């Protein structure tokens, strides 16, 4: 099975479980050059907060955009913006990626920033 198809299959099952929970969803997209994070409403119809390494407040002072430090900075920023939008508790949607490296760094920084998941 192709690698991306398997990842999307895992993401689909995770999202269906999160939909049943009825809480806001913190979704992560990891590309070769950047990392993106968004907080959606429980039904997924509206984006409440977003952060990525494309934004200047994240990329300023970083050595690169595709390392754990950049992911941690995105995690801190998404937690700050979600809390400003009134979101305290989220379900972590890792989009089928394994929980290690950049995904883990983002999640731990978001937890330290005050999000509960």
Inside any domain, residue 117: no
Give whole-number Cα distances, 73 to 11, 41, 48, 57, in Å. Answer: 24, 23, 18, 9
Inside any domain, residue 94: yes
pLDDT of the residue at 1: 65
pLDDT of the residue at 44: 87
CATH of the domain at 67: 3.30.420.100
Q: What is the pLDDT of residues 53-72, one digit of tens each?
A: 999 989 888 888 989 999 99
The mean per-residue pLDDT over the stretch 86-102 comes to 96
Inside any domain, residue 108: yes
β partners of residue 91: 25
Q: Which domain holds residue 62?
A: 3-112
Query: DSSP per residue over 60-82, as a string?
Result: TT-S-SSSHHHHHHHHHHHHHHH
Inside any domain, residue 89: yes
Total structural domains within the chain:
1
User: Is pLDDT at 99 greater than 70 in this prediction?
Assistant: yes
Q: What is the mean pLDDT of the chain?
A: 94
The contacts of residue 32 (CB under 8 Å, 6+ apart) are 66
Inside any domain, residue 18: yes
Q: What is the pLDDT of residues 76-91, one digit of tens each?
A: 999 999 999 999 999 9
């Amino acid at each position: 099975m192709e690698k991306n198809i398997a990842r999307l299959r895992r993401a689909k099952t995770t999202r269906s479980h999160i939909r049943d929970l009825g809480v806001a969803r913190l979704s992560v997209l990891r590309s070769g050059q950047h990392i993106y994070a968004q907080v959606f409403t429980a039904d997924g119809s509206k984006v409440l907060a977003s952060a990525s390494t494309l934004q200047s407040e994240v990329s300023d002072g970083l050595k690169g955009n595709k390392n754990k430090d950049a992911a941690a900075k995105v995690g801190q920023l998404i937690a700050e913006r979600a809390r400003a939008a009134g979101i305290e508790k989220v379900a972590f949607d890792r989009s089928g990626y394994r929980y290690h490296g950049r995904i883990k760094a983002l999640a731990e920084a978001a937890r330290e920033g005050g999000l509960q998941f």
